[in-house]
Amino acid sequence: MLFPVSVLLSIAVVVVVDGGGRDSALPNCVGSPSTYQRRVGNLACPTEAVCADEWNTVRDWYNGTRCKEQRIIKHCSCPGNHDCPVGNETHAFYANKKHTQYLCEPRCRIDKCSTTYRAAMEMVQNSPEFQGHNFYRINCRCRGHHFPMDSRRGRLMRSTSYMRVRFNFTQSVTYTQYRCASEGPATNGLLAENDPCQPM
Ligand SMILES: *[C@@H]1O[C@H](CO)[C@@H](O)[C@H](O)[C@H]1NC(C)=O
Ligand SMILES: *[C@@H]1O[C@H](CO)[C@@H](O)[C@H](O)[C@H]1NC(C)=O
Ligand SMILES: *[C@@H]1O[C@H](CO)[C@@H](O)[C@H](O)[C@H]1NC(C)=O
Protein backbone atom coordinates (compact mmCIF):
# COMPACT_ATOMS: atom_id res chain seq x y z
CA MET A 1 0.00 0.00 0.00
CA LEU A 2 1.24 3.50 -0.87
CA PHE A 3 1.13 6.41 1.56
CA PRO A 4 1.21 10.05 0.50
CA VAL A 5 4.66 11.56 0.95
CA SER A 6 3.45 13.87 3.71
CA VAL A 7 2.28 10.91 5.81
CA LEU A 8 5.60 9.14 5.37
CA LEU A 9 7.46 12.31 6.34
CA SER A 10 5.45 12.79 9.50
CA ILE A 11 6.03 9.14 10.47
CA ALA A 12 9.76 9.63 9.96
CA VAL A 13 9.76 12.78 12.10
CA VAL A 14 7.92 11.05 14.94
CA VAL A 15 10.39 8.17 14.93
CA VAL A 16 13.42 10.47 15.02
CA VAL A 17 12.05 12.59 17.85
CA ASP A 18 10.95 9.65 20.00
CA GLY A 19 14.22 7.83 19.57
CA GLY A 20 16.52 10.74 20.27
CA GLY A 21 15.12 12.69 23.16
CA ARG A 22 17.55 15.53 22.41
CA ASP A 23 15.73 16.93 19.35
CA SER A 24 16.80 20.56 19.27
CA ALA A 25 13.73 21.72 17.30
CA LEU A 26 11.36 21.09 20.22
CA PRO A 27 10.91 23.67 22.98
CA ASN A 28 11.94 22.86 26.53
CA CYS A 29 9.04 21.87 28.77
CA VAL A 30 7.66 24.64 30.95
CA GLY A 31 7.30 23.80 34.59
CA SER A 32 9.50 20.68 34.45
CA PRO A 33 10.42 19.30 37.83
CA SER A 34 13.45 20.98 39.34
CA THR A 35 16.45 20.20 37.22
CA TYR A 36 18.94 19.59 39.97
CA GLN A 37 18.35 17.76 43.19
CA ARG A 38 20.81 16.48 45.67
CA ARG A 39 19.63 13.16 46.89
CA VAL A 40 21.78 12.70 49.98
CA GLY A 41 23.31 16.03 50.78
CA ASN A 42 26.73 16.87 49.52
CA LEU A 43 28.68 13.72 50.27
CA ALA A 44 31.97 13.03 48.54
CA CYS A 45 31.73 10.40 45.80
CA PRO A 46 33.36 7.03 46.41
CA THR A 47 35.83 5.98 43.68
CA GLU A 48 34.15 5.37 40.31
CA ALA A 49 30.71 6.23 41.74
CA VAL A 50 28.03 7.64 39.46
CA CYS A 51 27.90 11.28 40.60
CA ALA A 52 24.80 12.22 38.55
CA ASP A 53 22.12 10.77 36.30
CA GLU A 54 20.69 12.73 33.39
CA TRP A 55 17.52 11.83 31.49
CA ASN A 56 16.55 13.53 28.24
CA THR A 57 13.09 12.60 27.11
CA VAL A 58 10.30 14.05 25.01
CA ARG A 59 7.09 14.70 26.86
CA ASP A 60 3.97 14.28 24.73
CA TRP A 61 0.75 15.87 25.98
CA TYR A 62 -1.23 14.12 23.19
CA ASN A 63 -2.81 17.44 22.21
CA GLY A 64 -0.22 18.39 19.59
CA THR A 65 2.25 19.77 22.14
CA ARG A 66 5.53 18.06 22.76
CA CYS A 67 8.52 19.40 24.61
CA LYS A 68 11.98 18.34 25.71
CA GLU A 69 12.27 17.38 29.30
CA GLN A 70 15.60 17.07 31.05
CA ARG A 71 15.99 15.68 34.54
CA ILE A 72 19.25 15.64 36.40
CA ILE A 73 19.80 14.05 39.77
CA LYS A 74 23.12 14.61 41.46
CA HIS A 75 24.28 12.13 44.06
CA CYS A 76 27.63 13.29 45.37
CA SER A 77 30.43 15.75 44.80
CA CYS A 78 33.77 15.16 43.14
CA PRO A 79 37.22 15.44 44.73
CA GLY A 80 38.11 18.97 45.77
CA ASN A 81 34.38 19.60 46.34
CA HIS A 82 33.92 20.05 42.59
CA ASP A 83 30.49 19.66 41.06
CA CYS A 84 29.75 16.48 39.14
CA PRO A 85 30.64 17.27 35.47
CA VAL A 86 27.09 16.87 34.10
CA GLY A 87 26.97 17.49 30.35
CA ASN A 88 30.70 16.92 29.88
CA GLU A 89 31.09 14.20 27.25
CA THR A 90 34.56 13.30 28.59
CA HIS A 91 32.91 12.07 31.81
CA ALA A 92 29.74 10.57 30.28
CA PHE A 93 28.69 6.91 30.33
CA TYR A 94 25.57 6.21 28.30
CA ALA A 95 23.12 3.93 30.07
CA ASN A 96 21.05 4.23 26.88
CA LYS A 97 20.10 7.00 24.45
CA LYS A 98 17.97 8.84 26.98
CA HIS A 99 19.86 8.20 30.18
CA THR A 100 23.46 9.26 30.82
CA GLN A 101 25.52 8.61 33.94
CA TYR A 102 28.48 10.77 34.92
CA LEU A 103 31.61 9.93 36.87
CA CYS A 104 34.08 12.30 38.51
CA GLU A 105 36.77 10.32 36.68
CA PRO A 106 37.15 10.91 32.92
CA ARG A 107 35.62 8.02 31.02
CA CYS A 108 38.91 6.96 29.44
CA ARG A 109 40.49 6.59 32.89
CA ILE A 110 38.22 3.57 33.47
CA ASP A 111 39.28 0.10 32.21
CA LYS A 112 37.34 -1.48 29.41
CA CYS A 113 35.41 -4.57 30.46
CA SER A 114 36.70 -8.03 29.69
CA THR A 115 35.22 -11.47 30.15
CA THR A 116 37.09 -11.79 33.46
CA TYR A 117 35.76 -8.52 34.96
CA ARG A 118 33.59 -9.28 37.99
CA ALA A 119 30.91 -6.69 37.10
CA ALA A 120 30.64 -3.75 34.71
CA MET A 121 28.44 -1.87 37.17
CA GLU A 122 27.19 -2.52 40.67
CA MET A 123 24.74 -0.91 43.01
CA VAL A 124 26.42 -0.81 46.41
CA GLN A 125 23.77 -0.83 49.12
CA ASN A 126 24.37 0.26 52.69
CA SER A 127 27.87 1.38 51.82
CA PRO A 128 30.28 2.35 54.64
CA GLU A 129 32.11 4.39 51.97
CA PHE A 130 28.98 6.50 51.50
CA GLN A 131 27.65 6.92 55.03
CA GLY A 132 25.37 3.91 54.71
CA HIS A 133 23.68 5.16 51.53
CA ASN A 134 23.45 3.41 48.19
CA PHE A 135 25.35 4.33 45.05
CA TYR A 136 26.11 2.96 41.61
CA ARG A 137 29.72 2.21 40.72
CA ILE A 138 30.96 1.72 37.17
CA ASN A 139 33.90 -0.68 37.27
CA CYS A 140 34.61 -0.87 33.55
CA ARG A 141 33.46 0.43 30.17
CA CYS A 142 31.01 -1.49 27.97
CA ARG A 143 30.38 -0.91 24.29
CA GLY A 144 27.04 0.75 25.04
CA HIS A 145 28.68 3.28 27.38
CA HIS A 146 30.29 4.83 24.28
CA PHE A 147 27.73 3.96 21.62
CA PRO A 148 24.36 4.55 23.29
CA MET A 149 21.67 1.98 22.69
CA ASP A 150 18.22 2.94 21.49
CA SER A 151 15.17 1.46 23.15
CA ARG A 152 13.01 -0.57 20.82
CA ARG A 153 9.28 -0.67 21.16
CA GLY A 154 8.51 -2.81 24.19
CA ARG A 155 12.15 -3.45 24.96
CA LEU A 156 14.37 -1.19 27.00
CA MET A 157 17.94 -1.42 25.76
CA ARG A 158 20.72 -0.54 28.15
CA SER A 159 24.50 -0.83 28.13
CA THR A 160 24.37 -3.10 31.18
CA SER A 161 21.98 -5.81 32.27
CA TYR A 162 21.32 -7.53 35.59
CA MET A 163 23.72 -10.32 36.48
CA ARG A 164 23.53 -11.31 40.19
CA VAL A 165 23.49 -10.14 43.80
CA ARG A 166 26.47 -10.56 46.12
CA PHE A 167 26.59 -10.01 49.88
CA ASN A 168 29.53 -9.16 52.05
CA PHE A 169 28.53 -10.43 55.47
CA THR A 170 31.51 -8.78 57.18
CA GLN A 171 30.37 -5.32 56.09
CA SER A 172 26.62 -6.02 55.63
CA VAL A 173 26.95 -4.60 52.11
CA THR A 174 24.87 -5.81 49.18
CA TYR A 175 26.20 -5.57 45.63
CA THR A 176 23.65 -5.82 42.84
CA GLN A 177 25.83 -6.48 39.83
CA TYR A 178 25.36 -5.80 36.13
CA ARG A 179 27.30 -7.05 33.13
CA CYS A 180 27.73 -5.51 29.68
CA ALA A 181 24.52 -6.11 27.77
CA SER A 182 24.57 -7.87 24.43
CA GLU A 183 22.92 -6.18 21.51
CA GLY A 184 22.51 -9.35 19.53
CA PRO A 185 24.05 -12.73 18.90
CA ALA A 186 27.10 -11.19 17.21
CA THR A 187 28.40 -9.22 20.21
CA ASN A 188 28.82 -9.75 23.94
CA GLY A 189 28.54 -6.06 24.79
CA LEU A 190 32.30 -5.65 25.21
CA LEU A 191 34.46 -3.12 23.40
CA ALA A 192 36.52 -4.97 20.82
CA GLU A 193 38.97 -3.17 18.52
CA ASN A 194 36.72 -0.12 18.35
CA ASP A 195 37.70 1.30 21.76
CA PRO A 196 37.52 5.11 21.36
CA CYS A 197 39.92 5.58 24.28
CA GLN A 198 43.66 5.68 23.75
CA PRO A 199 45.62 3.62 26.29
CA MET A 200 46.43 5.87 29.29
C1 LIG B 1 -1.46 20.78 25.75
O2 LIG B 1 -1.51 20.51 27.14
C3 LIG B 1 -0.49 21.13 27.90
C4 LIG B 1 -0.63 20.69 29.36
O5 LIG B 1 -1.92 20.94 29.84
C6 LIG B 1 -0.56 22.64 27.74
O7 LIG B 1 0.51 23.23 28.46
C8 LIG B 1 -0.43 22.97 26.26
O9 LIG B 1 -0.56 24.36 26.08
C10 LIG B 1 -1.50 22.25 25.48
N11 LIG B 1 -1.30 22.51 24.05
C12 LIG B 1 -2.31 22.85 23.25
C13 LIG B 1 -1.93 23.05 21.79
O14 LIG B 1 -3.44 22.99 23.65
C1 LIG C 1 35.35 18.31 30.59
O2 LIG C 1 36.17 17.44 31.28
C3 LIG C 1 37.54 17.49 30.88
C4 LIG C 1 38.30 16.38 31.59
O5 LIG C 1 38.07 16.42 32.98
C6 LIG C 1 38.09 18.88 31.18
O7 LIG C 1 39.45 18.96 30.75
C8 LIG C 1 37.26 19.91 30.43
O9 LIG C 1 37.67 21.21 30.77
C10 LIG C 1 35.78 19.74 30.77
N11 LIG C 1 35.00 20.60 29.89
C12 LIG C 1 34.18 21.53 30.37
C13 LIG C 1 33.42 22.29 29.34
O14 LIG C 1 34.06 21.74 31.56
C1 LIG D 1 34.14 -8.03 52.78
O2 LIG D 1 34.58 -6.79 53.29
C3 LIG D 1 35.77 -6.87 54.05
C4 LIG D 1 36.00 -5.50 54.66
O5 LIG D 1 36.09 -4.50 53.68
C6 LIG D 1 36.91 -7.32 53.15
O7 LIG D 1 38.12 -7.39 53.89
C8 LIG D 1 36.55 -8.69 52.57
O9 LIG D 1 37.54 -9.09 51.67
C10 LIG D 1 35.21 -8.66 51.88
N11 LIG D 1 34.81 -9.99 51.53
C12 LIG D 1 34.49 -10.35 50.29
C13 LIG D 1 34.09 -11.77 50.08
O14 LIG D 1 34.52 -9.56 49.35
Residue whose CB lies within 8 A of the most ligand 2 atoms, among 51, 89, 90, 104, for a mutation test: 90
Ligand 3 centroid to residue 129 C-alpha, Å: 13
Q: Are 190 and 140 in contact (CB under 8 A)?
A: no
Strands 36-38, 50-60: pairing is: unpaired
Model confidence band, residue 189 (pLDDT cutoffs 50, 70, 90): confident
Model confidence over 143-163: pLDDT tens digits?
999 998 887 777 778 999 999
Indicate if the pLDDT at residue 200 is higher than 60: no
Ligand 2 centroid to residue 89 C-alpha, Å: 8
Least confident segment among 26-30, 92-96, 104-108, 184-188: 184-188
Alpha helices in 73-195 (DSSP H): 143-146
Residue nearest to atom 6 of ligand 3 (CA): 170
Model confidence over 116-139: pLDDT tens digits?
888 999 999 999 999 999 999 999
Residue nearest to atom 11 of ligand 1 (CA): 65
This prediction has a pTM of 0.82
Ligand 2 site residues (CB inside 6 A) read 85, 88, 90-91, 106
Residue nearest to atom 9 of ligand 2 (CA): 88
